[in-house]
Structure 1
Amino acid sequence: MRQATRRRIPRSRTVLAVVTAAVLGVAGCDAVGGDSAGPSGTGAERSRPSPSPTPVWDTGPDSVAAVGDSITRGFDACAVLTDCPEVSWATGGSEKVDSLAVRLLGRAGAAERSWNHAVSGSRMADLPGQMERAARHRPELVAVLTGANDACRETTSAMTSVADFRAGFEEAMRTLRAALPKTQVYVASVPDLKRLWSQGRTSALGRQVWKLGICPSMLGDADALDAAATLRRETVRKRVEDYNEVLAEVCAGDRRCRHDGGAVYEYRFGTGELSHWDWFHPSVDGQAELARIAHRTVTAERP
């Protein structure tokens, strides 16, 4: 029998195959991308950098817009029946207040990157429009304090219903989110209006100013302590508590919203923290306290 002849592979082809394998081997180890498999194994896990997830809440936003009512406009804090946004808890530049914007951005930054779209006398139904205007600045934080005027009506029957209050706040949040999905929102609770009545009624001047029509559902017949007057004031207080539940619930449904947890409602404003013209709206010192509560909430590591 003839012995099978072994086929000889040219030496040049063998060298080419070795070089090609070496090149492919290097590419397979170092080039990770496209459809290429990344490193695997225990050593690879140790060398892979740990991801740093972006926090949902930024404790240092770089711009602030404010929406709300007369409290955020600094009404009656500087002069009788007059707005004074310079001392607003949210965006004012007064050194006596150190507003939320000043505390977050510094005084120069607050002057350049904060905006106050609150309107004295406004109610929850007005908030969506304010949100739309605030969103045009593309702020990183929107501060909200509204609801007192929804309870401060001619009569308790004229107060905004809880259902309408909820619908208004939900619409305001949708308006903001349609324009700015990632902007943060700070929501302050509505103050305890009955507490303000109990403090302010000690002032004869305050009671006279109340007769001009400031929150008649709570402040009307300020000295009356009969059953009807007591029931009226308790009805207003309960409605404010219901509003605060709505604010907390709607805010909780938005991952970039923080409610103050009832801090403003629970704060016991003293006579020094109320306007000495109407003994109802916050004074300069009261505005400073609102700013402190807001800053504490916004900068907390956890809500």
Structure 2
Amino acid sequence: MRKPSHRVRAVLAMTAAAVLGVAGCDAVGGTSPGPSGTKARPSPTRTPVWDSSPASVAAVGDSITRGFDACAVLTDCPEVSWATGNSPEVDSLAVRLLGKSKAATHSWNYAVTGARMADLPGQMARAVTRKPQLVAVMAGANDACRSTTSAMTSVADFRARFEEAMSTLRGSLPKAQVYVASVPNLKRLWSQGRTNALGKQVWKLGICPSMLGDADAVDAAATQRRDTVEKRVEDYNKVLREVCGKDRRCRFDDDAVHDYRFGTGQLSHWDWFHPSVNGQARLAEIAYRTVTAKEA
């Protein structure tokens, strides 16, 4: 077969150029000009996956989110909750995000003192009825705070229940955002609270026996028991990180709550274990910082 002449090749090149010219920017790239006389189409605006200014907040979890022992002994005090409280001393996550007046009508606290991860799906089911744009989660301490280490929630069950809770949320609110707080360092709370005689007496009422039982014992058995609880908490936090990491609209605090060095000023002066009003304010700071960060 003969090669096409120079003239034929020139005609083919001009034809190809004409076709591409008619096709415009779709054929030659988004930054190339279209044919003469046409207006360039604006680039589509992408809605960010994470909104740092949600219009409503719901909270789920346990006694920490209920403000237990922050205001009075063995009593919930939701007004100082780090998540949804209205106390100016705490400046809760909801108040920081929504403002005080709007937080009063657009935030809801479904946490329950004593709740474990197995209770989270039910709490989540109640929370979604409000259609919150952000759900704040803090759960897991009671899964480790059991009568014995053998009674602690297994890591597999912890994962299954957290995944169930997230599935419950996503089934109703696929675009809702989730903030997940890590489980606090229970061993550090023990080391701080054991310096107070009154606190140790309250511990004997049954607060976190697996960690706080025989508070002054430092023998090999007691040390192993506390180390076992500490390891389980670390495993729980790994689960929270992994499950949350699979969801584009979920942010884990990167162990910020677990790593925070609660001192005696941040602990309840009734049980020397739960957060005080000051401790609740510190939790609110961590949550707000995580939610409003430009990147997870």
Q: Write the mapping of 1:207-222 to structure 2, written as runs, cut at 5 A.
A: 207-222=200-215
SS in 1 for 2:33: helix
Structure 2, unaligned stretches of length 5 or more? Answer: 1-21, 26-31
Letter paired with 1:99: S
Residue 160 (structure 2) pairs with residue 167 (structure 1): yes
CA distance in 2, matches of 1:46, 1:252: 42
Aligned partners of 1:261 and 1:46: how far apart in 2? Answer: 47
- Structure 2 matches for 1:269-284, cutoff 5 A? 269-284=262-277
Q: Which residue of 1 aligns with 2:291?
A: 298
Q: Which residue of 2 aligns with 1:185?
A: 178
1:245 aligns with 2:235: no
Moved over 3 A (4+): none
**1:39 Cα deviation (Å)?**
7.2
**What amino acid is aligned across from residue 282 of structure 2 in structure 1?**
E
Query: Any idea what the Cα deviations from partners look like across 1:100-123, whole Å, max 9, x if unmatched?
Result: 000000000100100000000000
Show the 5 A alignment for 1:31-180.
40-41=24-25, 42-44=32-34, 47-180=40-173
Question: SS at the partner of 1:47?
Answer: coil
Aligned residue type for 2:206 = G
Partners of 2:187 and 2:260 lie apart in 1 by 12
Return the alpha-carbon distance in structure 2 between the equivalents of residues 241 and 39 of structure 1. Answer: 58
Q: Using the alignment, how far apart are the partners of 2:74 and 2:249 within structure 1?
A: 35
TM-score (norm 2): 0.88
Distance in 2, Cα, partners of 1:267 & 1:48: 50
Q: Which residue of 1 aligns with 2:281?
A: 288
For residue 79 of structure 1, give the secondary structure of its aligned residue in structure 2.
coil
Tell me the residue number matched to 2:253: 260
Shift of 1:291: 0.2
Task: Tell me how far apart the structure 1 counterparts of residues 279 and 214 of structure 2 sit (CA, whole Å).
Answer: 25
CA offsets 1:255-284 (integer angstroms, 9 cap, x no match): 100000000000000000000000000000
State the distance in 1 between where 2:23 and 2:106 align.
Answer: 46
Q: Deviations over 1:115-143 (max 9, x none)?
A: 00000000000000000000000000000
Deviation at 1:46, TM superposition (A): 7.7
Paired with 2:131 and 2:209, the residues of 1 have a C-alpha distance of: 37
Rounded Cα–Cα distance in structure 2 between residues aligned with 1:205 and 1:55: 50
What's the TM-score once normalised by structure 1's chain length?
A: 0.86
Q: Which amino acid aligns with 1:273?
A: Q
Task: Describe the SS at the equivalent of 1:59.
Answer: coil
Structure 1: give runs of 5+ residues left out of the alignment.
1-37
The structural deviation recorded for 1:50 is 1.6
Amino acid at match of 1:259: F
- When the two chains are superposed, the root-mean-square deviation of aligned CA atoms in Å is 1.2
Is the alpha carbon distance of 1:49 and 1:39 closer, same or farther for their aligned partners in structure 2, counting shifts above 3 Å?
Answer: farther
Shift of 1:48: 1.7
Instruction: Tell me the CA shift for residue 40 of structure 1.
Output: 1.9
Amino acid at match of 1:265: H
Matches of 1:49 and 1:59, distance apart in 2: 26
What is the rounded CA distance, in whole Å, between the counterparts of 1:81 and 1:282 in structure 2? Answer: 13
Identity %: 76
Equivalent position amino acid for 2:65 in 1: T
Distance 1:168 1:104 in 2: 28
